[in-house]
Structure 1
């Protein structure tokens, strides 16, 4: 028998969701609004088309120090009156900063 594509923690998380189709509807709605602003903001900075997928809200079973790599950085983006924080690997953040100049 082949190994499962999902880890046991992912299987357990899916099983524990219950019957709700979207348990994080309010959070997802807020993220979608923020992403519209983020897309518009980056479109002004870059001459290329910007497409952001998601948002994806996922229940995790592990502590955050296990989920993120040691070289993760948080990148703030001002959106209207609020701030969106993106968690990126340091190398990705450096590439993004180099691209923006």
Structure 2
């Protein structure tokens, strides 16, 4: 019988998978947290809230210092794999690869 959502426990009380993937997020009970699909494309107010909270409580703009270092060290090409709205390329010279 399959028990979806239930996890076999080792003696330490953790699901065995967590012993092999120590970086996996777990909840307060030690259960693996489920993935939540992003809805930013469908809920623009939610995205604006994320940006607003980051602007208000974040540690500041990391993009300009990052772009300055990329240019100073002539790092090419740049692959921006962030989950934001493309701020890094705006701080790089036009046409920077």
Say which structure is richer in strand.
1
TM-score by length of 2: 0.27
Higher normalized contact order (CA 8 Å, seq sep 6+, divided by chain length): 1
TM-score by length of 1: 0.27
Larger Rg, first or second structure (1 or 2): 2
Say which structure is richer in helix.
1
